[in-house]
Structure 1
Amino acid sequence: MSRILTLDALSAPLRALRLLALDFPDLPAPVVDVSSIYPDRLSLSVHPSNGGFAAFEAWRAALGIAPDAVDFNVQCDHRTAVLTAHTEFGGADVALTGFTEVAAGARMSGAGVA
């Protein structure tokens, strides 16, 4: 029988979110996800509507993630570019993801413009 998690099991990502709100109140608001599936993870994602890669870069710098620790990919539709990075903050694994639209007519590959 599986164990049912309580809200206390999510204390690490919730604590990290509280600290981020206190430490970085002026950064663009990301989509925030805390899940009982990954109880130690706080997922932050930024989309074109809330700054895309510019917001991702602001969060990356604030979290102290080195630029070379960021992965770049393009979704299979070739219209959406994605940056991802992970770090530890406030006792939680923070997954940072940024999305942006690829300019019409540009074809992107995982390594850059093709």
Structure 2
Amino acid sequence: MTSALTFNGLTVPLQALRLLAVDFPHLPAPDIDLTRLYPDRLTLCFHDGLHVFEAWREALGVPLDAVTHRVQGGGSTHVLKASTVYAGADVYLRGFADVAPVGGVA
């Protein structure tokens, strides 16, 4: 049996989160995910439009060619994904937005 991860085991993503708050206080707040399963990972999710994802991508210096795009929800939701290393943490960006209906704007 392995020993349980202590709160101290999440130090890397927590410190990265703290630095993100200091370095980018002007950017929109993301939904934040930390997990014991990936103790060096910090996931930032954006549900307020892909422009929010793009603002964070640009701020973190993630190249455009490192972004993947797919559509989920039976074609109703755009999903952008990218990752980078920031302050020693693996930072995953996830952006979600409605797909605009044909001839309209979502």
Classify the TM-score, shorter chain.
over 0.9
After superposition, residues 37-56 of structure 1 pair within 5 angstroms as 37-48=37-48, 52-56=49-53
Q: 2:82 aligns with which of 77, 85, 94?
A: 85
Question: Residue 98 in 1 paired to residue 95 in 2?
Answer: yes
2:12 partner SS: helix
Q: State the 1:4 CA deviation.
A: 0.2
Q: State the 1:76 CA deviation.
A: 4.3
Residue 112 of structure 1 corresponds to none
Two-structure CA RMSD over aligned residues (Å)? 1.1
Count of residue correspondences: 103
Q: State the 1:77 CA deviation.
A: 1.3
Question: Residue 64 in 1 paired to residue 49 in 2?
Answer: no
2:94 partner SS: strand
Question: Residue 11 in 1 paired to residue 8 in 2?
Answer: no
Gaps of 5+ in 1: 107-114
Residue 36 of structure 2 corresponds to 36
Scaled by the length of structure 1, what TM-score is found? 0.87
Query: Aligned equivalents of 1:8 and 1:79: distance in 2?
Result: 40
Identity level (%)? 53
Query: Aligned equivalents of 2:97 and 2:74: distance in 1?
Result: 13
Query: Aligned equivalents of 1:37 and 1:62: distance in 2?
Result: 27
